[in-house]
Chains A and B, each alone.
Chain A
Amino acid sequence: MLFVSIIFILYSIIYFYSNRNLNNDFDSLPASIENLLIIIFCVLYFFEQINIPTLSVIYSRSTFWIIVGILFYVSGTLFLFLYVASLPKTQTFNHWYINSIFNILIKVLFAVAFLLNKDEIPDKPYIQKQSYI
C-alpha cells in the first residue's frame, strides 16, 4: 500500500510539472485517485484498530474522530472531484457547495477530536478508559 502511495506521489509531482492542463484549474483525476487511496488507508486504520485487544471503546480516542472526518470528506467529495472537470465552467460553482459542506463536517469532527483531552493510544490493554463523548 505504501508502495502504491509513493508511486502516486511521484506521479502527482511529475503531472504537476509537465502535463498540467493550464486551462482547467482543477486536477480531477489525481484528486480522485488521492481520495480513493485515502479511503483505503482509513479502512486499513479501522481494521487495525479492531484487532487491538482493549477495553476502551474506539470512539474515546481522538485519532478515531480525525480518521472519521477524513473518511467523510474524501468519500463525500470523490464523485464531485471525479466529474467536476466534465462540467461546463459555469456550472462548476453551483456544485462546489458539496465540497464546502464536507469541509465544515471534517472541521467539526476535528474539533471533536481536539476536545477529547488527549490521544489515548491503547498501549495498556484491559484498562477501562473514561469516555467524554
Chain B
Amino acid sequence: MFLLQANTQNGIPQVIFFGTIGMLTLAVGLIVFIIFHQRKVIRYQGTLQRMEQDQQRMLLNASIRLQEEERQRLAADLHDDAGPLLATARLYLNENLVNMDKASQLQSIYNAKQIIDDTIQLIRNISHSLMPPTLKNFGLESAVNDLFQKISGSGSLNASCRFHDYKERLKTEDELILFRVLQELVNNILKHSNASFIHVTQNINGDRFFLRLHHDGRGLTQSDFEKLNKSPVGLGLKNIQSRLKLLSGNIYFEKDVSQTYYKVTIELSKEEVS
C-alpha cells in the first residue's frame, strides 16, 4: 500500500515514517523475545541445578547414615560379644586366685583359655568383615572368589565369578570400592531376591572396564533404581551410587532379553581406575 504510494511525491515521507516505525517495532520485539527466552532458560537451569544439589545432598546423607550404622554395628559386636567373653574369662581367672584346689584350678584355666580362643576368633571375624585380607593381598578376583565360596558353602544358592581380563590389578582403594559395591549388591540379592544363582563376569572393552552380575531372582530395573534413589529409603543403593561416583563409574540395572535373569552392569573408565 505504502510502497504504491511511494510513487507519488508526498507518499515517500509516509513510507519512511511507517517503515521506520515498523522496523523499530520488529527490533524491539526481537530484543524482548531474546531477553524473555533467556530468562526462561536461566530459570530452567536453576531448577536443574537445584535438583542436582538435592540429589547430592541425599547421597551424602545416605553415606553418612550408613557409616553411622556400620559404627553402631561394630560397637554392638564388640560390646555384646567380645565384652562378655572377656569378662567371663576374667571371672575364671579370678576364681583361680581364690580356689586353691589344683584340679579345679586347671579346669578354670582351661576354660579361660577356651574363652580367650573364642574371643580371638570373634575379633578376627570382625576385622575380616571390615577389611577382607584377601582383597588387600591378592586382589579383587580372589576376594570375590572367596566371598562367593562362602556364599555357595551355605548351600542355598550357587555363586560363581569369572574374571576375563584381570591380569593387572586396579588401584587398591578402587578395588575396595568395587568390592563394597559388589558386596552390597550381593547382600541385596540374598536379602530380597530369592535367587538360586549369582554369576559375576568381568571384562574390558576398549578403555571401558565392565563388571556384570546376573541373578535369577526378583530384581530391579533402571526405573526402580532411579525411583528408590530419589526416595528416602534405599540406603544401600544410594551408597552404591555415591561410591561409584568416586570412580566416575556408572551402574545399570536391567532385565535380560530372555526376561528370566536380572542383570546389573557396572561400567568404569579404565584410565580412571588403573
Contact = CB atoms under 8 A, between A and B. Distances in A.
A77 B24 CA distance: 9
Interface in B11-56: 12-13, 15-16, 19-20, 23-24, 26-27, 30-31, 34-35, 37-39, 41-42, 45-46, 49
A106 to B, nearest CB: 12
A95 B16 contact: yes
Chain A interface, DSSP helix/strand/loop, else mixed: helix
B65 to A, nearest CB: 29
Contacts of B38: 49-50, 57-58
Interface string A68-107: 1001100111111011101110010011001000000000
A46 interface: yes
Nearest to A80: B16
B64 interface: no
Contacts of A26: none
A57 to B, nearest CB: 7
A49 B23 CA distance: 22
A79 B24 contact: no
A47 B42 CA distance: 15
B6 interface: yes
Nearest to B13: A95
A46 B41 contact: no
A59 B12 CA distance: 36
Contact of A76 (B6, B20, B30): B20
A125 to B, nearest CB: 9
B27 A71 contact: yes
B27 A75 contact: yes
Contacts of B46: 55
Nearest to A95: B16
B6 A126 contact: no
Nearest to A55: B42
Given A50-B37, A57-B42, A83-B6, A72 B27 contact: yes
A94 B17 CA distance: 12
A84 B233 CA distance: 75
8 contacts: A46-B30, A50-B37, A58-B34, A58-B38, A71-B30, A83-B16, A86-B12, A87-B12
